[in-house]
Each structure stands twice: as C-alpha cells, then as structure tokens.
Amino acid sequence: MIGGNESCTAGPIPMSYLTCLTYVLGEWTGVEHIEDYLSYAVYLLWVLFPLAVVLLLPGVLVILFYTSILLLHIYKRKNELKEAYSNDFWDGAKQMLATLWDGHGRIWHGYELHGAENIPEGPGLIVFYHGATPADYVYFMARLLIQKKRYCHVVADHFVFRLPGFKILLDVHGVMHGPKEECVSALKKGCLIAIAPGGVREALFSDEMYTIIWGNRKGFAQVAIDAKVPIIPMFTQNVREGVRTLGGIKILKALYERIRLPIVPVYGGFPVKLRTFIGEPIPYDPNTTAEELTAKTKAALQALIEKHQKIPGNIFRALMERFQTQKKED
C-alpha cells in the first residue's frame, strides 16, 4: 500500500488517477471499501438521470421568462431619457423579446404557424386550448409580431400577477386580468386579445386525450358579443407532448380546487414538433346568445383538435414529427 507522502504513480505498478482518488477519499473519510459505495452512487445516478432531465427541462421556460425580465430592465435603464419623449418606448423591447422567443421556438420545437391569414385586420378575440405551459402562445405572439407586425394581448390567471419579478413583463406586454369591461374596452379600441377559457384548470388537468375543460365559462362569448368582434379558434399540435402534468392524481386536483394555486408538478420539456393552427373566424351575430356562441366556439376548437392532433397524444410520435417536412395547408 502507498504511504501518505508517496505519489499515486510511485512503485512498479502506477495507479490510475481514479484509483488514486478513491484511495485518497477512503483515507480522508475513514470508510473502508469506499469504491463499492461510489459504484452504487454512479449506478443510481445513471438510473435516475432520465427522471432528473424530464423534471428539470421545464425549468428552461422559467429561465427564459426571467431572462426576458432582465432584458427589459436593461432596456429600460439604457433608454430612460427616451421614455419621457416617446409613445412607443417599449416597441424595441417587444421586438427583442419576440426574436428571443421565436428563436427558441424554431430551434427547440421547429415551431410553425398556420392560418395567420384568418386573423382579421381589426379587433378579434382568439380562443385557444391551454397546454401545461403557455409556451405555445408565447411562440405564436412572437411569430405574429415578427411576421405581421401585430401584437396580441392575453388574459392571464390572477396568480400570474403575483409571481415575483413578473410585473414589468406583464406591463410591457399588456397582459390583462380579464374583467369583462377591460376586455370589451380593449377590443373596441381595435386590439387583438387571446384567452384560454379553460385557464389553469385545463392546463393542469387535461391530458393526452386533449379534453377541453371549460366548465360553465361563457364570459368570453359575452365579451365578443358586447364588443361586436369575431372569435378566432386556435390550437397547437402536440402541446401536451412537450410538457405534461401529474394532474391525474386526485389529491392534487382536490388541493388545487381548495387553494387555487398551480402546485401540480410538471415534467417533460421535450423538443416535440409544435404547429399552431388558426381556424376560420366565427363572425359576430347580434342574434346569437352567449350560450350559443360558447357552444359554437367549443365545437370549432374541437374540430381543430380532431383535424390536427392524433389522439391519444404520443411523445415519441411528436418527437419523430420533427423530421417530417412542413405540414401542407389543408
């Protein structure tokens, strides 16, 4: 055995660096046969690595959101004088963030947008299916701004406004709390607004069957009627395969219904193919009630799902679609 002051390479048979490190670690900790424990630890790391990956990858979206927030603070700091004299102070920042998110969508998901011509030139209410994360909507918003020079506001759940550091991001992008009066006013001013009637409940508790979970919500339909604007259905293919939730666990659903906070774990972040499809607008009809318009919108969204999504969703299939050529317009 090598003495404390001898080199690991001393003697007629030099020791490998790994063997030397194991020996030194054993001497330092006083644990005999430490190499057996290390081998077991390496085995556990190998077994658990895929699990760690699928749990940590969704964190990339969080990093991108906070990167966006940091860039907005830097932008504001560098343009403080301009803010006092310009009505479009944040235009450059919006373009910058649109480029960031569109780049991420292109690289990680091969993101495509189809049917943008169905979005009217004037105001309109986009109604979309909510995936486990809002990433597909952010990709859509970025692509729309880059290609069409149009900006789309979105109605978000109340908890989003309580996220630390998010205030500047929400203010810059005009994210709305969702009171009917606020939405109607914005639409009458010519804005384009997006809303997912299923909200957080649909995000957390829908699954690979792509079930629409709206409950009795029909406020969005009344908003469209009061503002006299069309409703445009929107769906993103494979959005459930990119990130999934553990919403099937009953105790988690019961806990959400009690505290109304999205504490359901998510996993995935897989680079699946994402394609957003914009359906044909449902025009304003003064003779249509909110209940009837809700039913029409749900049917239109369900038709988009059935047309563009294979049910049940499959992660492997969604990954393989990255290698297919661009989907032809139907």
Active site residues: 130
Separation of alpha carbons 27 and 16, rounded Å: 17
Helix, strand, coil distribution of the chain in percent, nearest 5? 55, 10, 35
Separation of alpha carbons 131 and 286, rounded Å: 32
String of DSSP letters for 69-90: HHHHHHHHHHTHHHHTT-S-TT
Asked if 204 contacts 262 with a C-beta cutoff of 8 angstroms, the reply is yes
As a residue count, the chain comes to 330
Burial class (CB in 10 A: 0-12, 13-18, 19+), 295: middle
Burial class (CB in 10 A: 0-12, 13-18, 19+), 28: exposed
Separation of alpha carbons 166 and 163, rounded Å: 6
- Pair of tokens at residue 264: 């359901």
Separation of alpha carbons 294 and 311, rounded Å: 24
Which amino acid makes up residue 171? Answer: D
Return all residues near 102 (Cβ < 8 A) that are at least 6 apart: 111, 139, 142, 143, 146
Separation of alpha carbons 182 and 118, rounded Å: 24
**Torsional sign, CA 192, 296, 294, 128:** negative
